[in-house]
């Protein structure tokens, strides 16, 4: 066995939280040290608007190339990283979900737990059903609207903001979580039953 | 946000960091819809461990950077811009709306990009919709409470 194949085999196993979490944390100092940039991904949605269809909206009238070029490069990197992990590191393997979660999800009709997303809910023809539209179009819209309104997402507020002990980020993270609980416990069961 | 242009040589560095981030979130299953459901149902420690240890490492690093008065590669003093609280409405209300969407699509913006790379083509729908949501926020911004 060569060293490379040994390394690939080790990396192809699922990465535990105590490896992945600290690695994710390192992106905060890394981006600051490289170019004084605050770790965050959601600004790319704003840069996309500014680049594609700024219209007359003041929020999108800025030089997205100089302010957002680094972040767009980072996002493109994430796409490539996802592709490399899926292709060479067994990244779309069946996940190590807890039995409790499997039982709960099965109880409202999700049985195929083999992909990164539930195939029963997330596929192109699901867009022909109300449920698919609410989940994919509605969910995406809320993520984009909410993160722009709150001025950050999980990376910008939950990781960068909390690490810097910023109170507004704590408020935003409590909001993320409260919203997630409402979506999970109140709305999803209703959508799945209907 | 600073408005100064950065040399494009740096873009390759940001791209490389993005690649690493994409690999980490994919291999740790952070991009899995199932993992996010499991988190909101309190059925595993996995996601809490990841977010908690990420915040811890980032927090200690930030303290070191501040105390050592570290400079970036460009030689600038490193600054983390503080967020303004204002009335706080934008944080709890925007956060709440984001959270509902997060539960629906099981992915926040970083993982959306990784999922696209991992070959989940239908994720283009929530991604496009998220861009539309950000656009609508931009248009309504002057009229929303912040």
State the count of interchain CB pairs (< 8 A) between A and B.
532
What is the pLDDT, as a whole number, of residue B67?
Answer: 93
CA of B73: how far to CAs of A144, B77, B79, B89, in Å? 32, 10, 13, 37
**With contacts defined as CB-CB under 8 Å, which chain B residues touch A124?**
121-122
Q: What ipTM goes with this model? A: 0.95
Stretch B58-82: mean pLDDT, rounded?
A: 92
Tokens of B61: 């690093």
Is there a contact between B74 and A158 if contact means CB atoms under 8 Å apart?
no
What whole-number distance in Å separates Cα of residue B82 and Cα of residue A49? 24
- Report yes or no: B85 and A168 within 8 Å, Cβ to Cβ: yes
Is there a contact between A80 and B3 if contact means CB atoms under 8 Å apart?
no
pLDDT in tens, chain A (194 residues): 688 888 888 899 999 999 999 999 999 999 999 999 999 999 999 999 999 999 999 999 999 999 999 999 999 999 999 999 999 998 877 888 999 999 999 998 899 999 999 999 999 999 999 999 999 999 999 999 999 999 999 999 999 999 999 999 999 999 999 999 999 999 999 998 85
- Report yes or no: B3 and B77 within 8 Å, Cβ to Cβ: no
CB of A130 within 8 Å of a chain B CB? The answer is no
State the Cα angle at A83 between B22 and B52, rounded to 5°.
25
What is the pLDDT, as a whole number, of residue B2?
Answer: 47
């Amino acid at each position: 066995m060569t060293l490379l194949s040994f390394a690939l085999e080790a990396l192809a196993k699922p990465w535990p939280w105590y490896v992945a979490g600290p690695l994710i944390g390192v992106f905060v100092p890394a981006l600051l040290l490289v170019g004084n940039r605050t770790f965050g991904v959601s600004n790319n949605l704003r840069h996309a608007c500014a680049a594609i269809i700024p219209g007359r909206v003041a929020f999108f009238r800025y030089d997205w190339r100089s302010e957002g070029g680094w972040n767009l490069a980072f996002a493109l990197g994430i796409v490539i990283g996802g592709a490399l992990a899926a292709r060479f590191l067994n990244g779309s393997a069946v996940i190590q979900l807890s039995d409790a979660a499997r039982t709960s999800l099965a109880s409202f009709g999700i049985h195929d737990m083999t992909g990164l997303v539930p195939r029963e809910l997330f596929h192109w023809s699901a867009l022909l059903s109300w449920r698919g539209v609410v989940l994919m179009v509605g969910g995406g819209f809320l993520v984009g609207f909410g993160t722009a309104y709150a001025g950050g997402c999980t990376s910008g507020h939950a990781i960068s903001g909390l690490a810097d002990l910023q109170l507004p980020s704590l408020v935003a993270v409590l909001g993320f979580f409260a919203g997630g609980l409402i979506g999970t416990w109140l709305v999803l069961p209703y959508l799945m039953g209907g | 946000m600073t408005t100064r242009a950065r040399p494009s040589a740096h873009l390759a560095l940001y791209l490389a960091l993005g690649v690493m981030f994409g690999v980490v979130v994919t291999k740790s299953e952070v991009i899995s819809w199932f993992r996010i459901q499991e988190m909101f149902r309190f059925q595993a420690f996995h996601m809490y461990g990841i977010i908690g240890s990420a915040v811890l490492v980032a927090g200690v690093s930030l303290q070191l950077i501040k105390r050592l008065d570290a400079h970036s590669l460009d030689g600038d003093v490193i600054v983390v811009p503080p967020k303004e609280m204002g009335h706080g409405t934008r944080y709890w209300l925007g956060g709440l709306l984001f959270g509902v969407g997060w539960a629906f699509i099981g992915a926040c913006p970083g993982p959306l990009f990784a999922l696209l790379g991992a070959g989940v083509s239908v994720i283009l729908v929530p991604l496009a919709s998220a861009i539309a949501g950000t656009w609508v926020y931009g248009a309504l911004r002057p009229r929303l409470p912040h």
